[in-house]
A and B are shown apart, each in its own frame.
Chain A
Amino acid sequence: MTKVSKNLKKRSWLLKKVVTLTFLLISSLLVNAQQQIVVKGKVFSEKNNEAIIGATIKVKKSAKGELNGTISDGKGNFSLNVKSLPVTLTVSYIGTKELETDIYEYTEPITIFLSEDLNLLNEVVVVGYGTQKRKEITGAISTIPSTYFKQSTTSFDNSLGGAVAGLNVTQSSGQPGATSTLRIRGGNSITGGNEPLYVIDGYILYNDNSNTRTGAGNFDGGLNPLSSINSNDIESIEVLKDVSATAIYGSRGANGVIIITTKKGNKGSDNINYQATYGFQKVRKKLDLLNGKQWAQLYTELKQNNGQTGFTDAQINSFGEGEDWQSAALQNGNSQNHQLTLSGGDQKTRYVISGNYTDQTGIIKNTDYKKISGRVNLDRTFSKSFTAGINVSASNSTQNGLSNYGTLAAPGRLAGSYDLAIRTSPLVSVYNSDGSFNYSNPYETGDIRLGNTTVNGISDIVNTTAETKLTNIFGNFYANYTIIPSLVAKAVVGTDLYRTKQNFYAPKTSAIGLIPSGLGSVGNKSSDTWQGAFTLNYNKKINDHSIDALVGYTTQKNSIEYATATSSNFSNESLGYTSLQAGSTYGAPTSGGSESVLNSYIARANYSFKERYNLTATLRADGSSRFAENNRWGYFPSLGLAWNINQEPFFKSTVIDNLKLRVSGGTVGNQEIGDYKYLATYSAAANASFGGQLVTDYTRTRLANPNLKWESTSQYNAGIDLGLWKDKLNFVVDVYSKKTSDLLVDIPVAITTGFTSQTQNIGAVTNKGVEFAVNGTFLKTKNANWTFSANIARNVNEVTSLGTITSFQPNFTADNSSSPLSTILPLIVKVGQPLGTFYGYQFDGVVQTGDNLSKVPVPSWYSTVQAGDPKWKDQDNDGKITEADKVVLGNSQPDFTYGFSTSFGFKKFDVSVLFQGSQGNKLYNATRQNLETYSTTYNSSAILADRWTTTNPSTTIPRAYETSKIYLDDRYIEDASFLKLKTLTIGYTLPFRVTNSKNSNIRIFVSAQNLLTLTKYKGYDPEASRYGGDETNGLYQGIDLTAYPSSIGFNFGASVTL
Chain B
Amino acid sequence: MKKYLFITILSAILITLASCNSLDVNPIGSLTGANFPKTDADAIALVNGAYVDISEISTYTSYLTDLPSDEEQCGEAVISAGAPIGTYDHTPSNVMIYMGWTYLYQGVTTANDVIDQLSASTTISSAIKARTINEAKFLRALYYFSIVQYWGDAPLVLHSTDSKTPVRATVDELYTQIVTDLTDATALPATYSTSTDLGRATQGAANALLAKAYITWAQTGASADAPVRYQKSIDAANKVTGYSLTNDFLDNWDTSKKNNYTENIFKASHTISQFYSGDGFNHLCHCSFVTGFSQETPHLIVSDPAQFYDNWDSRDQRKGGSYAKYLYNPNTNSVFTFNVPRYRKYIDTLNINTSATTRSIDRTIIRYADVLLTKAEAINELSGPTTEAYTSINQVRRRAYKKTIDSQHLAADAFDYKNLTQTQFRDSLQKESLHEFTYEQQRWFNLVRWKILLKTVKAVASKAPNTEAYTQVRKKSQIALKHYRFPIPQSERDVNPNLTQNYGWDGSTASAYDSSYQ
Interface residues of chain A, those whose CB is within 8 Å of chain B, are 303, 306-309, 385-386, 409, 411-412, 445-447, 449-452, 479, 481, 483, 489, 491, 493, 515-517, 519, 521, 530, 532, 534, 553, 555-557, 561, 566-569, 583-588, 591-597, 599, 623-625, 629, 632, 675-676, 679-701, 748-756, 805, 807-809, 811, 813, 819, 822-823, 825, 860-861, 863, 882-884, 933, 935-937, 962-966
Contact = CB atoms under 8 A, between A and B. Distances in A.
B165 A449 contact: no
A412 B110 contact: no
A754 B106 contact: yes
Contacts of A481: 3, 6, 10
A805 B497 CA distance: 9
A521 B198 CA distance: 32
Interface in B498-512: 499, 505-507
18 contacts: A303-B468, A308-B471, A386-B6, A451-B294, A516-B276, A521-B277, A553-B14, A568-B277, A569-B354, A592-B29, A625-B24, A682-B30, A688-B48, A700-B160, A750-B492, A751-B105, A754-B109, A861-B89
A599 B78 contact: no
A517 B23 contact: no
B273 A935 contact: no
A449 B495 contact: no
B258 interface: yes
A447 B507 CA distance: 33
Interface string B2-21: 01001100100110011011
Given A452-B294, A681-B32, A752-B166, A517 B357 contact: yes
A937 B77 contact: yes
B197 A691 contact: yes
A686 B13 CA distance: 44
A248 to B, nearest CB: 19
Contacts of A594: 27-29
Given A691-B199, A750-B495, 8 more contacts: A534-B10, A585-B278, A595-B26, A681-B27, A681-B30, A700-B110, A823-B93, A860-B91
Contacts of B165: 750
Contacts of A937: 77, 79
A112 to B, nearest CB: 30
B40 interface: no
B200 interface: yes
B330 to A, nearest CB: 14
Interface string B40-64: 0010011011011001100000000
A685 B269 CA distance: 15
Contacts of B28: 561, 592-595
Q: Contact residue range for chain B?
A: 35 or more
B296 interface: yes
Contacts of B286: 515
B271 interface: yes
Contacts of B92: 883
B31 A682 contact: yes
A699 B165 CA distance: 22
Nearest to B277: A587
A386 B10 CA distance: 13
B196 A693 contact: yes
A964 B36 contact: no
Given A411-B80, A625-B25, A697-B52, A754 B113 contact: yes
Contacts of A386: 6
A292 B378 CA distance: 61
A515 B356 contact: yes
Nearest to A686: B274
Contacts of A585: 272-273, 277-279, 358
Contacts of A698: 31, 36-37, 42, 45-46, 48-49
A409 B495 CA distance: 24
B101 interface: yes
A445 B10 contact: no
Contacts of B258: 691-692
Interface in B381-409: none
Contact of B273 (A534, A588, A884): A588
A882 B271 contact: no
Given A411-B80, A698-B36, A964-B84, A534 B14 contact: yes
B30 A592 contact: yes
A516 B291 CA distance: 15
Given A681-B31, A690-B200, A586 B45 contact: no
B293 interface: yes
B91 A597 contact: no
B174 interface: no
5 nearest A-B residue pairs (beta carbon): A754-B109, A587-B277, A585-B278, A592-B29, A451-B292
Residue among A586, A676, A693, A883 with the most chain B CB within 10 A? A883
Contacts of A749: 164, 495
B197 A690 contact: yes
Contact of B89 (A676, A819, A965): A965
Nearest to A633: B23
Given A593-B29, A690-B200, A307 B468 contact: yes
Contacts of A557: 20-21
A567 B93 contact: no
A406 to B, nearest CB: 13
Given A697-B45, A697-B51, A595 B198 contact: no
B259 interface: yes
A475 to B, nearest CB: 16
Contacts of B18: 553, 555, 599
Contacts of A307: 466, 468, 471, 474
A809 B494 contact: yes
Given A752-B166, A823-B94, A962 B491 contact: no
Interface string B453-478: 00000000000001010010010001
A516 B56 contact: no
Residue among B93, B155, B471 with the most chain A CB within 10 A? B93
A443 to B, nearest CB: 9
B312 interface: no
A752 B157 contact: yes
B81 interface: yes
B55 A624 contact: no
B338 to A, nearest CB: 12
B27 A515 contact: no
Contacts of B102: 751, 756, 813
A734 B101 CA distance: 51
A561 B105 CA distance: 32
A688 B166 contact: no
Contacts of A515: 279, 286, 356-357
A529 B245 CA distance: 63
A689 B495 contact: no
Interface string B251-291: 00000001100000000011111111111000000100011
Nearest to B20: A557
Contacts of A936: 77
B293 A451 contact: yes
B23 A597 contact: yes
B95 interface: yes
A692 B269 CA distance: 7
Interface string B205-238: 0000000000000000000000000000000000
A789 B46 CA distance: 63
A483 B4 CA distance: 9
B278 A883 contact: no
B333 interface: no
B84 A689 contact: no
A583 B81 contact: no
Contacts of A623: 23
Given A411-B79, A805-B495, A811-B491, A676 B27 contact: yes
B490 A586 contact: no
A684 B49 CA distance: 9
B98 interface: yes
B294 A964 contact: no
A451 B327 CA distance: 14
B77 A411 contact: yes
